[in-house]
Amino acid sequence: MASTVAFTPAVAVGANVQHSRRTSSLRPVPRARPVAARGSAERDGAAAAVQARSGRTIEECEADAVAGKFPAAPPPTRPQPPSGTPEIRPLDMAKRPRRNRRSPALRAAFQETSITPANLVLPLFIHEGEEDTPIGAMPGCFRLGWRHGLLEEVYKSRDVGVNSFVLFPKVPDGLKTQTGDEAYNDNGLVPRTIRLLKDKYPDIVIYTDVALDPYSSDGHDGIVREDGVIMNDETVHQLCKQAVSQARAGADVVSPSDMMDGRVGAIRAALDAEGFNDVSIMSYTAKYASSFYGPFREALDSNPRFGDKKTYQMNPANYREALIETAADEAEGADILLVILLLCTQSARLSRSFFASLPVSCTKSYVINCQVKPGLPYLDIIRLLRDNSALPIAAYQVNLPALK
């Protein structure tokens, strides 16, 4: 390696000597090794000799090695620096971090952070229709027909390595009520879609959204009292029934995004009581009130009919409050907080070159139990939770443009 130069007494005596102006000391400079001066024809001949097969047995080759009759091998070479490069003694350094970065293979071996298609969860917007319909606020994204376009989309996504999906329904207005009862209809759009996907692709991971806003005639994540107050405990009761219905249909992970207090523990208890101990919970732990959700709400037709969601979604100015929410979710049953990016676009429009550029790595099958949403504007919150929790952290970024 170029990082060290060994000097034997014989070499040091015969070496060229150069005076260093900085240290006023004599520094021996190694001569170029004669072997490096061999011509390319000689090297090619040696390589050919190594590659040629003599037809001898392993025992015969080993006997020659024991007798000191070693076969010819390519001569060692040292790449030469350009003309005019100063000749110096290498720095006396015990640690050289660049050693682990000197080749693509080493860089890949020691890479601390990687992202592959297996790390992505793809949101799929579904509706009752037969045809896919474009989402105006999300160019290139569509509400997918649950029996046709959806299956094609999942097929194309699996082809590029995406195997996890989260479902978001656009519910007909005629099925919306103030209490969101359609959310736990076992024959509703989401349960039917889960059963269809599990029948066609049993190995995929299906995440679901647990919240009332797509099913509420008021457009809020909870039941609204006549004075405009969002009722917490009554809403949690509905969410538990919704989560159990989704688990019964075959969901792998249920994801309460409502930000009601105590819903993680209540949903965990409801799932366990129905025998769904293996169904995981992905809790939106730190979900901030944000205008970033505008295109997303258009996709689901879930804009609040009045007011806003600031009494349950977090204040963007609050930093430490995220620790309170995280501690509560962990205490109520959150297991893993995983860093992951969810793209609001369908994979049929995801560039293959994008995935080809991702590093290849071995990844485990994770379950997400906590999220920060929206992700990108709240990197400081992600850092805060990372510093205060041993669990992986998840981040949901909404309103990304479609990749082409």
Please list the active-site residues: 287, 373
- Distances in Å between the alpha carbon of 297 and those of 6, 167, 169, 270? 68, 14, 11, 28
What's the angle, vertex CA 221, arms to CA 397 and CA 251, rounded to 5? 70
Distance CA 334, CA 255 (A): 11
Q: Is 161 left (phi over 0), alpha (psi -120 to 50) or beta?
A: left
**Rg for the chain (alpha carbons), in Å?**
31
Residue with tokens 């430490």: 320
Token pair in block for residue 225? 């009292």
Coil, strand, or helix at residue 29? strand
Distance CA 94, CA 71 (A): 36
- Distances in Å between the alpha carbon of 333 and those of 254, 265, 267? 13, 6, 10
Distance CA 170, CA 175 (A): 11
- Distances in Å between the alpha carbon of 350 and those of 157, 303, 339? 9, 27, 20
Peptide bond into 374 cis (omega under 30): yes
Residue with tokens 């959700």: 293
Distance CA 302, CA 227 (A): 20
Which residues have C-beta within 8 Å of that of residue 199, sequence separation ≥ 6? none
